[in-house]
Each structure stands twice: as C-alpha cells, then as structure tokens.
Structure 1
Amino acid sequence: MAKLQGFANAFVLFLASVAAIQCVSGEIVCEKLPTDICAFAISSSGMRCVLEKYVQRGEVNYQCVTSQVRADKLHEAGGWIETDECVQACGVDRSWAGISSDPLLDLHFMDKLCSPPCYKGCPKIVDLYFNLALAEGVFLPNLCDALKSNPRRAMAEATFKSGSIGDGAPAPASAAPVASAPAPF
C-alpha cells in the first residue's frame, strides 16, 4: 500500500512539473525540460528533443537539447511530452541519449514498435522510427508486415537491404521526411 501511495505521489508530481513547464513559459523548450522526460518530447517549434550525454570533470551528465530533427507535421501547437503509456508500449527508454536507428536491429524492440498499441496509438514515436528506417532504406510498414509472418527473416532482409541499419550511411536523396506512417495492421 505504501508503495502504491508513493507511486501515486510521484505520478502527480510528474504531471504537475510537466504542466508547470508548459504553463509558465507557454511553450515547450527542450533545454528547459528535466532529463527524465526529455527523450521523445517535441518542442513547441516542432523540433525533437534529445538527451545529450557529456562528461564534466570526469563525471557523466545529461542535458536536454533541441535536435535538428523535425517531427514532421505531427507536432502540437504547444509541443508534446510523450506519455509513459507510449514509452512502455513502444519499448523505448527515456534514458536513451541521442537519436539512433540502432534499435531497429533489435527484434524485441521491433515487435513492440510494430504492435497495435504502439503503431496505432503512438504516432509521434512511430513517426520518428518510420523516418529513421526510411533513411536506412527500409519501409517500416513493410517490415512490420513481414515481422508478423517470419520475424527473423524480416530482420535479416531489412539489415541486408539497408547495408546494416545504423552504419551511418547517408539517407538517400528520395528519403524526404514523411508526414505520418501508414498503419501496417
């Protein structure tokens, strides 16, 4: 019972801090966000927030910064803090630093990303990984469809097609950002 009360208090405090950030400034500015809600947030200007890792006097620290990645036409007028439900449903982690396509190589991650609760209910996270996959030469809806029938083969083909997702290869010129990912289910 005490743990449940502690969780409830922490959750109320979290919601209050998010509301305070939005109400005080009237907008979401990545650099003003606490590090524990930074990842997967979208600033009021439509740019994605990213957790940046740095070392100062031998100690690893993190700060929230504005990335150069636009959230395609999905950003809200007042910005967006991703919900805990979507973070959990999609298998992402708020402690991830940077924006990377590396999770697309993880079968467990892809299973969660392509699941209906994530793919249909969390468009901002899906949009991010849709564009990351596209930049690697992989069409996320097709990969999600293939994962339903033969997950290992789908992952092998995606890795082969992209030349190994996450190898730092530049995006093809035709890989312009897309407004939203079509539903695979």
Structure 2
Amino acid sequence: MFKTTALVLAAIAAASLHQPAAAQTAAAPAVRPAMAACPAILKQNFKRLQDEAPQDLCQYAGKVVLVVNTASYCGFTKQYEGLEKLYAKYGGRGLVVLGFPSNDFGKQEPGNAKEIADFCFNTYGVKFPMFAKSAVTGPEANPLHASLTKATGQAPKWNFTKYLIGRDGKVLEYFPSKVTPEDPALVGKIEAAL
C-alpha cells in the first residue's frame, strides 16, 4: 500500500509539473497581441523619474491611461493624493495614472528628479508611474503632450491638467486643473472606459 501511495503521489507531482508549462503556452498568445497592438499615442519612451531608466509607454497598451502634468509647489498639488487613490482603487481593473512633472507653469516644479521623487513619495505616497521632468506645452512639449494637445485641441493651461486615453489608444477626454481626481465627471469617464 505504501508503494501504491508513493506512485500516486509521484504521478500527481509529475502532472503538476507539466501543467504550468501548458498554462504558460495557453497564456502566451494573449500577451503578444497586446504588445503588437500598441496604439500610436503610446509608442514613445520616457525616462522614469526615480532613476532615469528608459520606459516604453507600450507597456500600458490595453489599459485606460490618465496622463497628468504635475508640480510640487502648486495650489493643485494636493491632487496627488486623489490621483494615488484612483490608481489604488481602479489599478486592478486596468487604470494607470502617468505623472509628468513640469516647470512650465509658475515655475512650480523647480526641483531635480530626486527631489521631486522624494516629495511625491514621502508627502503623498505616490506609487503610480512618474516620469522625468519635461515641458508639456509649447514648441518644447514632450511628444506625448504634443500628441494629446493635437488630439483634443486643448494644451495644458496649468499644472494638473488631465487627459484620459481609452484601452484602444483613443483620447477620450481633456480635464482642466480644477477637475479634481474625485470629481464625478472624471470618475464616471474612467469607470465607463474600464
């Protein structure tokens, strides 16, 4: 009986060893189309704020993306808290918030990358992706914001302007700075896109 039990356990162990490979093979095709289907607006690279490692925005293909230009010393800076709450609440359903620090408005983002990253994390617990400081308006605007401005006809007018991009890469909405992350109009659009 001991020998039979050992044989049964060995057969179960062998079967379980083969199952993850089969599951991986079945799951692999689902990953490839998402990478191949990267929309034009996300076919861009930016340096990560914390360490300047290059980041391909195609990693967010298939997600609902909320793009926000940020600043550390602005009357709207407290929106970091609400943005982080949105990211925490809806991230599991496919929302990603992308923060782009900019010194374009009122010189309210004077710090270097380390100062900005430390401020965001230590003051507001920001965990959503943040990118290196860049211009978001005018001829020096980073390529993502230039594309968003073209798609909506609305350039950022101040810090914490928001753009919502759907899972298919289409720009869904422009929200001015005064629209907070808790605003029902913004939350409703996010929920509809998810």
TM-score (norm 2): 0.25
Q: TM-score, normalized by length of structure 1?
A: 0.25
Q: Which has the higher contact order (CA 8 A, sep 6+)?
A: 2
Over alpha carbons, which structure has the higher Rg?
Answer: 2
